[in-house]
Amino acid sequence: QVQLVESGGGLVQPGGSLRLSCAASGFTVDDYAIGWFRQAPGKEREGVSCISGTDGSTFYVDSVKGRFTISRDNAKNTAYLQMNSLKPEDTAVYYCATRWRIGSLTAATYEHWGQGTQVTVSS
């Protein structure tokens, strides 16, 4: 049974950092693509970043390029999203999700989802 559990969210001041974790079970993260998505109140779910299960290639939405870094630790079967220089507009519930092999920032293409973790950027 595929299961994803996010952690690491919280309240942080603008300019601060957080590292989100996505612990996977029921599959190995190096075979599957992992995507990070976020959803703010009243807004659609947005693809933030993804890492492919083939060559580890990564993709980012323009608004987080240079600030966020996606990675995975195959030994721990966990993916991460390091978020630096956080801005109030980054406030949202962040979700990780998985799909076979190739990464994508399109939420509808992902099969399995975690429950989400809240990130709030505020002074």
Which pLDDT does position 31 carry in this prediction? Answer: 85
With CA atoms as reference, report the closest residue to 47 among 101, 104, 89, 115: 104
Which pLDDT does position 44 carry in this prediction? Answer: 95
In degrees, rounded to 5, the angle at the alpha carbon of residue 102 between the alpha carbons of residues 42 and 65 is: 55
How many angstroms from the chain centroid is the CA of residue 74?
16
59-84 in b/e burial notation, b at 16+ Cβ within 10 A?
bbbeebeeebebebeeeebbbbbebe
With CA atoms as reference, report the closest residue to 105 among 67, 60, 74: 60
Tens of pLDDT, residue by residue, the chain (123 residues):
889 999 999 999 999 999 999 999 988 888 899 999 999 999 999 999 999 987 889 999 999 999 999 999 989 999 999 999 999 999 999 999 999 988 899 999 999 999 999 999 999
Tell me how far apart the alpha carbons of residues 39 and 50 are, in angstroms, rounded to a whole number: 16
Which pLDDT does position 19 carry in this prediction? Answer: 98
Tell me how far apart the alpha carbons of residues 47 and 61 are, in angstroms, rounded to a whole number: 7
Which pLDDT does position 88 carry in this prediction? Answer: 97
Which pLDDT does position 104 carry in this prediction? Answer: 92
